[in-house]
Amino acid sequence: MTTRPFYVTTPIYYVNGKPHIGHAYSTIAADVLSRYARVRGAESWFLTGTDEHGQKIERVAAEQGLPPQEFTDRMIPAFRSCWETLSCDTDDFIRTTSKRHQDFAVEMWKRCEASGDIYLGEYEGWYSVADEAFYTEKELVDGRAPTGRPVERVKEPSYFFRLSNYTEKLLAFYEANPTFVRPEGRFNEVKSFVREGLRDLSVSRTTFRWGIPVPGAPEHVMYVWFDALSNYVSALGGDDTDAYRKFWSPNGRAMHIVGKDILRFHAVYWPAFLMSAGLPPPAQVWSHGWMTVNGAKMSKTEGNFLPPEPIAEAVGTDALRYYLMRDIAFGQDGDFSHANLLARYHGDLGNGLGNLLNRMVSSIVARSFEGRVPDADPRTLHGLEAELVQTAERAARRAGAHLDDSEPHRALEAVWELVGAANKYVDQTEPWQLAKRGETARLAEVCYAVLESLRWLATMLWPFMPGKADEIRAQLGLTPLLPTVGLDAWPSAWGGLTPGARTRPGAPIFPRFDEDQQRSIYARLGAPLPDALKASGDVAAARKSAPKNAEPRPKAPEKTPVQDAATASTVTPTTAAATPADGTITIDDLVKVDLRLGLVKAAVRVPKSDKLLELTVDLGESGERTILAGIGKHYEPEQLVGRRITVVANLAPRAMMGRMSHGMVLAVSDDQGLSVLSPDKEITPGVKVK
């Protein structure tokens, strides 16, 4: 792993529609790599943004009866809040309509012109507005673009970029930089395209106005790709800034993550523009594959663009991130399937990782060691522990190597070897039997080994599931991971947990969804219901209509509320064993939830989040605590200070945006807005809600 400063970018997305799961895939991948670089001790800068010019945007704005600038301004919040919901910790967001961007695009143009690479001519040929790309007659398939989108005949005066000058230069550059494009197969396609000889590229348009005016020829606007590609340097403030010198070549490692649809723009045009402007190309272009959804292509005509946020709300952001990074081999085409998502949720996450944590922290350690990290010398390694440590070391080595290679799916496979090994270790060592037999010293060694494995897992999983990794850490009694702190770095030394430290047993981190909940998830997400759920759905329905004292409902595993960070609402927990069949709950269920009145002492916005507020809440005798609430779009922090609110006081601590929340604020919402629940008298803080 190199600790060179890392600069990772996503494509800047067109704002003609809201972000969908394909966009989310690229952005989450970039976030994983950025976070990974940080836990390896490198400085990382993660850029995303929006591509706002061009004919496509101009047309959509016109369809909506809005000036293009107003239209794009209205679209931006959807992108920002989507990345926030998906825990993508971006460092910058570049808009091509911003001044800083336009200034640099003009500068790029002037430099290419000064190199003699831009000349005036006339373009006659085909153009696809949907692709924002020119096509030759030869490239068309049945009168359409190779992407299947419609094309239009265009004839207009145009500036051209002398791409034909760059055939040899690019081939030499590729030769000298054998990992410039990954995966290798796609690099080969790029090389053969260039080897065929490059034709000059039309880089300005005159038949519409929504773009950056060409310097000295304002009747032309720049071709949207010339404009857009410049974002990767305009966002660094141009080439004469500390950020540029740190993150761009040769000092930094600049990596563009793109879908295979736009590889040619990034691997051919962009390096040629940069060379012409006298700047070095980026270090790497990583081209991932194309995703279908439940086997179907997403398209405007089908109207089946899948929005990521409802999925994150239904199963949790981290489960979605995990699924995307694990199930779809990075670089290859793949399919997003709701059924596979839930299978991974219940299998890898619930049964594998969640269960390991739960049976150790909430069960054995809580009971046998009063919830403290047992006092065992981590250096005493018997056969089974030695094997476990070796597996952990191998997992960290392999996962690291795969992430160095930007292969997140393989990294997760390697991490899951440790999940599997730690679960097997628990089965083999049978800690429950050790406890029963009073073999406390041995039990301490076993528990320590499992807890320490969980600490390693939390660090390795932090790039993928930052929230859940911090929840695991909270249960282990650790603070949220700070990648700059030594012990929090990518794991390498066994024995980081301090004996005697207090663990914090919490709710299962991936609670099971019973069949009814699964059906409701499919329904809410508009996803096709798998046959297995269809069949048992009839049985469940029959059971529901059966008399109450007939057959009891099947016993479901224990559940906990599933928190929704955005609205602080919950999916109602069910504890079937004690729950009457008609869906009502008993008083025993109700008293499990510790509802209390709190007084807000302080409130601030969480940086980089427009939703989250950090509240300091006085709970009387229980003291003050920090609660994060997703109500920042509805309240200014000052409005809440001094206000009495209702909170769930016994919810397991939960990490959001790198901070811990110790409770949940109750609120109600409808189309009119959101309102926190408050009493109408000055009731003493800390009293129970009854």
Residue with smaller CB distance to ligand ME8, 30 or 565: 30
User: Helix, strand or coil for residue 430?
Assistant: coil
* Cβ pair 19, 266 in contact under 8 A: no
The answer to whether residue 26 forms part of the interface with ligand ME8 (CB under 6 A) is yes
Provide φ and ψ at 381, rounded to 5°. -115, 110
Segment lying near ligand ME8 (by CB under 6 A), choices 227-235, 313-321, 409-417, 452-460: 227-235
Residue with smaller CB distance to ligand ME8, 130 or 458: 130
Q: Could you tell me the smallest distance in angstroms from the CB atom of residue 60 to ligand ME8?
A: 12
Segment lying near ligand ME8 (by CB under 6 A), choices 6-14, 66-74, 154-162, 469-477: 6-14
Q: Could you tell me the smallest distance in angstroms from the CB atom of residue 426 to ligand ME8?
A: 38
Q: Could you tell me the smallest distance in angstroms from the CB atom of residue 50 to ligand ME8?
A: 8
Residue with smaller CB distance to ligand ME8, 14 or 425: 14
Figure out which of the listed residues 5, 6, 8, 13 binds ligand ME8, where binding follows CB under 6 A: 13
Site for ligand ME8 in 27-56 (CB under 6 A): 51
Q: Could you tell me the smallest distance in angstroms from the CB atom of residue 13 to ligand ME8?
A: 4
* Cβ pair 336, 306 in contact under 8 A: yes
CA trace torsion 627, 631, 636, 641 (10° rounding): -30
Q: Could you tell me the smallest distance in angstroms from the CB atom of residue 282 to ligand ME8?
A: 12
The answer to whether residue 11 forms part of the interface with ligand ME8 (CB under 6 A) is yes
* Cβ pair 647, 665 in contact under 8 A: yes
The answer to whether residue 229 forms part of the interface with ligand ME8 (CB under 6 A) is yes
How many C-beta atoms lie closer than 10 Å to residue 571's C-beta?
18
Q: Is 223 exposed, middle or buried (0-12, 13-18, 19+ CB in 10 A)?
A: buried
Query: Cα separation of 543 and 16, whole Å?
Result: 47
Task: Write down the number of H helices and E strands in the chain.
Answer: 25, 27
Residue with smaller CB distance to ligand ME8, 14 or 247: 14
Residue with smaller CB distance to ligand ME8, 108 or 444: 108
The answer to whether residue 76 forms part of the interface with ligand ME8 (CB under 6 A) is no
Segment lying near ligand ME8 (by CB under 6 A), choices 255-263, 537-545, 565-573, 681-689: 255-263
The answer to whether residue 259 forms part of the interface with ligand ME8 (CB under 6 A) is yes
Segment lying near ligand ME8 (by CB under 6 A), choices 21-29, 436-444, 530-538, 656-664: 21-29
Of 90, 89, 88, 6, nearest to 43 by C-alpha is 6
Q: Could you tell me the smallest distance in angstroms from the CB atom of residue 478 to ligand ME8?
A: 35
**Alpha-helix runs per DSSP H in 352-382:** 355-357, 366-368
Six-digit token string for 280: 């070095």
Q: Could you tell me the smallest distance in angstroms from the CB atom of residue 296 to ligand ME8?
A: 11
The answer to whether residue 14 forms part of the interface with ligand ME8 (CB under 6 A) is yes
Amino acid in position 118: I
Residue with smaller CB distance to ligand ME8, 101 or 402: 101
Residue nearest to ligand ME8 (CB): 22
User: Helix, strand or coil for residue 539?
Assistant: helix
Q: Could you tell me the smallest distance in angstroms from the CB atom of residue 10 to ligand ME8?
A: 7
The answer to whether residue 214 forms part of the interface with ligand ME8 (CB under 6 A) is no
CA–CA distance from 152 to each of 146, 219, 251, 469 (Å)? 13, 21, 43, 50
The answer to whether residue 606 forms part of the interface with ligand ME8 (CB under 6 A) is no
Figure out which of the listed residues 228, 342, 399, 647 binds ligand ME8, where binding follows CB under 6 A: 228
Q: Could you tell me the smallest distance in angstroms from the CB atom of residue 530 to ligand ME8?
A: 22
The answer to whether residue 210 forms part of the interface with ligand ME8 (CB under 6 A) is no
**Alpha-helix runs per DSSP H in 430-490:** 431-436, 440-461, 466-475
Residue with smaller CB distance to ligand ME8, 23 or 455: 23
Of 239, 283, 232, nearest to 4 by C-alpha is 283
Query: Cα separation of 220 and 158, whole Å?
Result: 8
Segment lying near ligand ME8 (by CB under 6 A), choices 243-251, 257-265, 412-420, 592-600: 257-265
Figure out which of the listed residues 291, 357, 388, 457 binds ligand ME8, where binding follows CB under 6 A: 291
* Cβ pair 30, 182 in contact under 8 A: no
Provide φ and ψ at 160, rounded to 5°. -115, 150
Q: Could you tell me the smallest distance in angstroms from the CB atom of residue 130 to ligand ME8?
A: 9
Q: Could you tell me the smallest distance in angstroms from the CB atom of residue 413 to ligand ME8?
A: 21
Six-digit token string for 333: 């085409």
The alpha carbon dihedral of 412, 414, 419, 424 has a sign of positive
Segment lying near ligand ME8 (by CB under 6 A), choices 12-20, 374-382, 518-526, 590-598: 12-20
The answer to whether residue 335 forms part of the interface with ligand ME8 (CB under 6 A) is no
* Cβ pair 415, 406 in contact under 8 A: no
Segment lying near ligand ME8 (by CB under 6 A), choices 5-13, 196-204, 380-388, 450-458: 5-13
What would you report as the CA-atom Rg of the chain, rounded to the nearest whole angstrom?
28
Q: Could you tell me the smallest distance in angstroms from the CB atom of residue 298 to ligand ME8?
A: 5
The answer to whether residue 261 forms part of the interface with ligand ME8 (CB under 6 A) is yes
Figure out which of the listed residues 94, 190, 262, 600 binds ligand ME8, where binding follows CB under 6 A: 262
Site for ligand ME8 in 111-140 (CB under 6 A): none
The answer to whether residue 336 forms part of the interface with ligand ME8 (CB under 6 A) is no
Segment lying near ligand ME8 (by CB under 6 A), choices 82-90, 228-236, 339-347, 422-430: 228-236
Q: Could you tell me the smallest distance in angstroms from the CB atom of residue 229 to ligand ME8?
A: 5
Q: Quickly list DSSP for 312-360.
A: HHHH-HHHHHHHHHHHS-TTS-EEE-HHHHHHHIIIIIIIIIIHHHIII
Greatest distance between any 2 Cα atoms in the chain? 89
Query: Cα separation of 316 and 655, whole Å?
Result: 12
Instruction: Please state the separation of Cα 454 from the chain's center in Å.
Output: 22
Amino acid in position 90: T
Q: What is the DSSP letter of 646?
A: E
Query: Cα separation of 571 and 584, whole Å?
Result: 15
Q: At what angle do helices 21-39 and 68-85 cross, to 10 degrees?
A: 50
Query: Cα separation of 94 and 388, whole Å?
Result: 45
Q: Could you tell me the smallest distance in angstroms from the CB atom of residue 47 to ligand ME8?
A: 11
The answer to whether residue 58 forms part of the interface with ligand ME8 (CB under 6 A) is no
Q: Give the total residue count for the chain.
A: 690
CA–CA distance from 316 to each of 22, 337, 562, 657, 664 (Å)? 18, 16, 8, 14, 16
- Residue 477 zone, left/alpha/beta (φ > 0; ψ -120 to 50; rest): left
Residue with smaller CB distance to ligand ME8, 272 or 648: 272
Query: Cα separation of 19 and 28, whole Å?
Result: 12
The answer to whether residue 25 forms part of the interface with ligand ME8 (CB under 6 A) is yes
Residue with smaller CB distance to ligand ME8, 11 or 632: 11
Figure out which of the listed residues 82, 181, 221, 258 binds ligand ME8, where binding follows CB under 6 A: 258
Residue with smaller CB distance to ligand ME8, 335 or 589: 335
Q: Could you tell me the smallest distance in angstroms from the CB atom of residue 231 to ligand ME8?
A: 6
Figure out which of the listed residues 62, 66, 78, 298 binds ligand ME8, where binding follows CB under 6 A: 298
Footprint of ligand ME8 on this chain (CB under 6 A)? 11-14, 22-23, 25-26, 51, 228-229, 231, 258-259, 261-262, 290-291, 298
